[in-house]
Structure formats: structure tokens, C-alpha cells
């Protein structure tokens, strides 16, 4: 294992090695200290927002600002949210890819001669830092309705250290069982299965090494990427091995009913996010949310794509109803985070950094990405409305949050530096 970890140093990857170290092989969660751990949650949606009624007035900045109609359901939490305007991902060029670039900055999107590939998402940088002592370094939540929700390519909001998509759990039932249901297979059989998987990996690795000599640079690059894939699998197996005999935490909620969709799905996924954080099953979660199914659950018969191209009338009304409902759901999630008390008397909210938004502003506009930040986990200034310079890299927001939770990140995506107005 030591030789394999050393190999990663030779690849020149700046982030992958810390990921392997922090996802290290500990059998049990570290004992709770007097200071609760930090957590991070990203909630992303497609199709953007209603430009005219979601964003606060740009003339009202700092702490002296009024909520817009689209954000009005968050009124009871206004002192605990910060809305950021002016940010975008400069490499975005696809009108309806609402989340593909959202957490990455996609700083490797257009390399000559290469097809589309992404860069690492902010949640995975956080997972490398926060995920050592939990059963799951991160959890990705998805929705079966993603094709109707304006997200773009990807399997979740998350992209690994090589810019490859990470799959997400598509239903609340699947998420519940992943988080809280123990495997009923006898321990000895599970140990044998993992041993067999390790044996296969070793054989594959030996075969790959045998063809290293005499390769072209292109083939060498491909082989290096292949080796990195093996290392990623190896890390996951190591994590699985160390938690193999540790029972999962008891769920704080009942098993969800099958078939939940739209608003009910989002409500249940939010409840599962709180339960996962409360039990310290993971400290990093993402959720790529449904929009098409949300409209349908609200009785709105406008197609989601058509709604995103609103003018006036039913399409715009549907867009505005979508905005207020999403804000209501977010307010409910904040309620839940505030209600969960830590051992030191603080709340789960006080130690959770939560980001909510989209890569799309409205229609086909990819500038001024809607961004709401809340929670005390990153130590940022809350209760304010920031209007930054046009086309400030959205990755600057993520860099600020990543530094706020304690990572040593010096850059992320196309970032140019942390945002001083957010820093406490």
C-alpha cells in the first residue's frame, strides 16, 4: 500500500493524494470531541430561477436588504442566509446544463483534442478533508427525474479528483438503505468478497505495469489515468473493510414510502440529509434536485423546459411558483438543522455549511448564478446580500467555503481567490 500511495506523488496530482490520506483506513469513527465536526451540503437545481422576482434588489447590499418575492419564504431565516450575486463559471457554454459545472469551475473543459471532461467538484475536496472518520466520505443524492430537471451531463452533482462523475442515489428509499440498513450477508462472506476484489485489483495492476515500457506519451497518460482508477477503487475497498463489522447508525426517521416524487421527494431527501449528519454517517452530501417532477407535484402542467423560457402568463407563474416552493423547502431544511442539538448545546446548523443554487440564472443565461449560503460550518458572514463584480468566478465562493471548513485549498476550478466580503 505504501508503494501505491507513493506512486500518486509521481503523477503530479495536487489534490488526489490528500484525498487518499484523509480517506484512510480507520476501523471506527474517532471519539467525539467537545467541538462538533464541520459538515458541508450542496443543493443544486436546474433551469435557474425567475430573473425578475428571485434576485434581491442590487441597490440593497450588506445587511440592509429585503428579500425578493422568490426568497420570501426564507424570511424567518434572513439573518442566517447570505445571497451572492455576480458569480459565474467562465467555462460554461451549454444553456441547460444547470449543475454539470456548478461545483467544479470546469477548468479543463476545452483542452485541444479532448472530449468533454470535468474537474473535481467542491464537495469532493471537502470529503477529502472531512471524510476520514465517517462510514461514508460523502453521499450523493440524485433524482430519477433528472432528465426533466435541466441538469446536464453527470450522475450527480459530484465529480471525483479526475473529473469523472460519481453516481447518486436516485430515490429516498435507496438513500435510506444505503445510509442506515445493515447488510445481512454473513460477515465471513463479506470478508471473502472483499478479499476476492482485492485479488482481482492486484492482478489487474500487475498486468497494467507489464505494458508500461515503450508506450507513447498519449498511451502513458491513459495508463496513468487507469492506475488512478485502480487507486480509487482500492481506497473504497479499504474504507469498506474497516467498517465491515461496525453496525450502521440507527435511523432517526422511518423508512420512506416508495414512489415519492417532486415536493415529497425533496422533503424526504432533506430529512435524510439531516439524519445522515446527525448520526455522523457522513459529513458531506450533495443533492441534484428534481424540477420537472416538482412542477407536476404542484399541479403545474407547464413543461419544465417551456417554463424556463417564460415571458408572461402561465409559464412565468409556474416559474415563480417553483421558486417560492423551493424556498419553502429550503426554509424547512434550515428549521430541521437548527432543531438538532449537539452535545455542547449548539445546533447542527451551527456546524453545517450549506450552499444552494444553480449554474443557470434564467432562460439561457449563464451569468449571475443564483447562490444562497447558510449555516455556520464555514464561519462565513451571514445575513447579508453581496453584489460582486460581474463574472466573479463562482469557484471563488467554493474556495472561500473550503478554506472556511479548514482545507488547505489554495485554488479551486478557475478561482482567483477567496471572497473577502464573505470571510468573518
> DSSP string of 244-288?
TTSPPPPPSSPPPPTT--THHHHHHHHHHHHHHHHTTS-SEEEEE
The residues of the chain scoring below 70 in pLDDT are 1-33, 107-115, 190, 194, 197-215, 217-218, 220-237
Q: Are 285 and 267 in contact (CB under 8 A)?
A: no
Task: Kindly list the structural domains of the chain, giving each domain's residue range(s) and its CATH number in brackets, ordered by start.
Answer: 40-182+252-422 (3.40.720)
pLDDT tens, position by position, 289-342: 999 999 999 999 999 999 999 989 999 999 999 999 999 999 999 999 999 999
pLDDT at 22: 35
pLDDT at 206: 66
pLDDT at 112: 54
pTM for the whole thing?
0.84
How far CA 113 is from CA of 215, 290, 321, 328, 414, in Å, comes to: 19, 34, 43, 45, 21
Q: Are 84 and 388 in contact (CB under 8 A)?
A: yes
pLDDT at 42: 98
Burial of 400-416, coded b for 16+ CB within 10 Å and e otherwise, reads bbbbbbebebebbbbbe
Pairing mode, strands 352-357 and 371-374: antiparallel
pLDDT at 92: 82
Distance separating alpha carbons of residues 60 and 51, to the nearest angstrom: 16
pLDDT at 253: 93
Grid cell of 143 as nine digits: 433524482
Element (H, E) at 130: helix 122-130
Distance separating alpha carbons of residues 157 and 166, to the nearest angstrom: 8
10 Å Cβ neighbour count for 216?
A: 8
Residue 368, sorted as left (phi over 0), alpha (psi -120 to 50) or beta, turns out to be left
Number of Cα atoms under 13 Å in the Cβ half of residue 394: 33
pLDDT at 15: 31
Distance separating alpha carbons of residues 354 and 24, to the nearest angstrom: 25
Grid cell of 231 as nine digits: 487507486
Amino acid at each position: 500500500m505504501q508503494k501505491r500511495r507513493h506512486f500518486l506523488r509521481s503523477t503530479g496530482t495536487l489534490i488526489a493524494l490528500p484525498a487518499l490520506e484523509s480517506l484512510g483506513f480507520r476501523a471506527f469513527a474517532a471519539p467525539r470531541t467537545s467541538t462538533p465536526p464541520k459538515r458541508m451540503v450542496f443543493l443544486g437545481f436546474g433551469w435557474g430561477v425567475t430573473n425578475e422576482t428571485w434576485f434581491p434588489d442590487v441597490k440593497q447590499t450588506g445587511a440592509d436588504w429585503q428579500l425578493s418575492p422568490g426568497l420570501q419564504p426564507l424570511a424567518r431565516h434572513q439573518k442566517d442566509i447570505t445571497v451572492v450575486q455576480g458569480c459565474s463559471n467562465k467555462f460554461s457554454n451549454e444553456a441547460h446544463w444547470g449543475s454539470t459545472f456548478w461545483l467544479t469551475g470546469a477548468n479543463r473543459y476545452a483542452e485541444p483534442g479532448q472530449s468533454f471532461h470535468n474537474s473535481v467538484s467542491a464537495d469532493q475536496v471537502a470529503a477529502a478533508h472531512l471524510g476520514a472518520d465517517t462510514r461514508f466520505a460523502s453521499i450523493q443524492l440524485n433524482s430519477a427525474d433528472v432528465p426533466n430537471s435541466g441538469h446536464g451531463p453527470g450522475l450527480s452533482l459530484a465529480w471525483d479528483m479526475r473529473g469523472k462523475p460519481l453516481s447518486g442515489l436516485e430515490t429516498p428509499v435507496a438513500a435510506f438503505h444505503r445510509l442506515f440498513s445493515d447488510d445481512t450477508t454473513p460477515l465471513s462472506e463479506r470478508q471473502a468478497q472483499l478479499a476476492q476484489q482485492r485479488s482481482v485489483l492486484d492482478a489487474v495492476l500487475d498486468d497494467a505495469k507489464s505494458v508500461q515500457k515503450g508506450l507513447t506519451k498519449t498511451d502513458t497518460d491513459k495508463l496513468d489515468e487507469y492506475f488512478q482508477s485502480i487507486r480509487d477503487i482500492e481506497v473504497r475497498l479499504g474504507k469498506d473493510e474497516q467498517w465491515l463489522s461496525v453496525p450502521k447508525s440507527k435511523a432517526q426517521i422511518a423508512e420512506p414510502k416508495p414512489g415519492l416524487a417532486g415536493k415529497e421527494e425533496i422533503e424526504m431527501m432533506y430529512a435524510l440529509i439531516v439524519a445522515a449528519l446527525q448520526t455522523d454517517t457522513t459529513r458531506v452530501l450533495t443533492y441534484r434536485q428534481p424540477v420537472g417532477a416538482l412542477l407536476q407535484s404542484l399541479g403545474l402542467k407547464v413543461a419544465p423546459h417551456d417554463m424556463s423560457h417564460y415571458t408572461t402568463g402561465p409559464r412565468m407563474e409556474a416559474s415563480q411558483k417553483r421558486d417560492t416552493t423551493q424556498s419553502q423547502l429550503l426554509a424547512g431544511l434550515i428549521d430541521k438543522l437548527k432543531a438538532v442539538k449537539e452535545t455542547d448545546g449548539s445546533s447542527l446548523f451551527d456546524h453545517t455549511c450549506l450552499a444552494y443554487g444553480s449554474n443557470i440564472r434564467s432562460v439561457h443565461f449563464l451569468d449571475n448564478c443564483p447562490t444562497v449560503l447558510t449555516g455556520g460550518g464555514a464561519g462565513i458572514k451571514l445575513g447579508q446580500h453581496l453584489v460582486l463584480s460581474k463574472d466573479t468566478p463562482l469557484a471563488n465562493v467554493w474556495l472561500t467555503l473550503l478554506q472556511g471548513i479548514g482545507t488547505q485549498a489554495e485554488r479551486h476550478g478557475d478561482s482567483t481567490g477567496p471572497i473577502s466580503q464573505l470571510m468573518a
